[in-house]
């Protein structure tokens, strides 16, 4: 990790985890102490576990977040959950615009922007995900896609405290494939440029995470790339030993 921005290692558990998963989370809490000097740690379990994890994490070195929220604070939206509800449970951050939600639920940049604003309304940090598909990369459109998604998903009120951007090439998520470090560097430099142009000094401090098949064996190399300020980790965040090893790579 070469930049002055403090790294953030975020685990996205997706639709994995039962009450019995508390033991794994406790192992993360137990091992996080020495890593806190290097990086912030955040775990986003499924909504069903956010309250229990947050209660267990109180006073510890791993924060707890959620994976999605509704734009509204409350109302007639059966099955949905608001940012305020997650705050009430002790969450500090919410992922919005993950490519799986964009694909599975047809989420648009405009909706993601509303969700990010909802996260801020609740006083939490929004982790806004962007990234290109394989077809888009092959067509040379990676930077265009990132530019469009950033423009559409980010609000004018973005600050280094309320926003984290996660660059996640869709083709790298859950596949074991990763871009070259040169490719990661190019995209992160581009994102940093977009952020500083729009948000000036704040944009220089917004954390830009890389996500997509991060594991203990490649974390240090990826985290050393300029403008990579941490990772969004899916599969490897389910095991405390892997998640902690990734954080150790910062």
- Binding residues (CB under 6 A) for ligand PEP: these are 12, 168, 173-174, 211-214, 232-236
Distances (CA, A) of 148 to 81, 130, 145, 152: 27, 9, 5, 6
Q: Give catalytic status of residue 168 as yes or no.
A: yes
Contact 129, 44 (CB under 8 A): no
230 or 234, CB closer to ligand PEP? 234
Residue 207: strand, helix, or coil: strand
- d(C-alpha 111, C-alpha 207), whole Å: 22
165 or 236, CB closer to ligand PEP? 236
Which residues lie across from 198 on neighbouring strands?
A: none
31 or 235, CB closer to ligand PEP? 235
Q: Give catalytic status of residue 132 as yes or no.
A: no
* Closest CB 195 distance from ligand PEP, rounded Å: 20
What is the torsional sign of CA 100, 105, 111, 117? negative
Task: Work out the number of other CB atoms within 10 angstroms of the CB of residue 46.
Answer: 16
* Closest CB 74 distance from ligand PEP, rounded Å: 28
**Residue of 100, 107, 132, 168 with catalytic role:** 168
* Closest CB 16 distance from ligand PEP, rounded Å: 10
* Closest CB 177 distance from ligand PEP, rounded Å: 9
H/E element, 29: helix 22-32
**Residue of 24, 70, 84, 98 with catalytic role:** 98
31 or 211, CB closer to ligand PEP? 211
Write out the catalytic residue numbers: 98, 168
């Amino acid at each position: 990790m070469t930049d002055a921005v403090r790294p953030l290692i975020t685990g996205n558990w997706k639709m994995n985890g039962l009450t019995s998963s508390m033991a794994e989370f406790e192992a993360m809490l137990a091992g996080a102490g020495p890593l806190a000097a290097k990086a912030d740690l955040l775990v986003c379990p499924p909504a069903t576990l956010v309250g229990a994890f947050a209660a267990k994490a109180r006073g510890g070195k791993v924060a707890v977040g959620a994976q999605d929220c509704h734009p509204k604070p409350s109302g007639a939206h059966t099955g949905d959950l608001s940012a305020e509800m997650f705050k009430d449970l002790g969450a500090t951050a919410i992922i919005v615009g993950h490519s799986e939600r964009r694909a599975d639920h047809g989420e648009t940049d405009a909706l993601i922007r509303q969700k990010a604003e909802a996260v801020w309304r609740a006083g939490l940090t929004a982790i806004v995900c962007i990234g290109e598909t394989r077809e888009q990369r092959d067509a040379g459109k990676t930077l265009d896609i990132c530019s469009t998604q950033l423009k559409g998903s980010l609000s004018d009120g973005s600050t280094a405290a309320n926003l984290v951007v996660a660059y996640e090439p869709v083709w790298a998520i859950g596949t074991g494939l990763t871009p070259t470090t040169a490719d990661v560097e190019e995209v992160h430099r581009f994102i940093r440029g977009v952020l500083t142009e729009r948000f000036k000094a704040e944009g220089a401090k917004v954390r830009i995470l890389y996500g997509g098949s991060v594991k203990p064996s490649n974390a240090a190399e990826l985290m050393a790339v300029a403008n990579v300020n941490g990772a969004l980790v899916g599969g490897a965040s389910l095991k405390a030993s892997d998640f902690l090893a990734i954080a150790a790579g910062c």
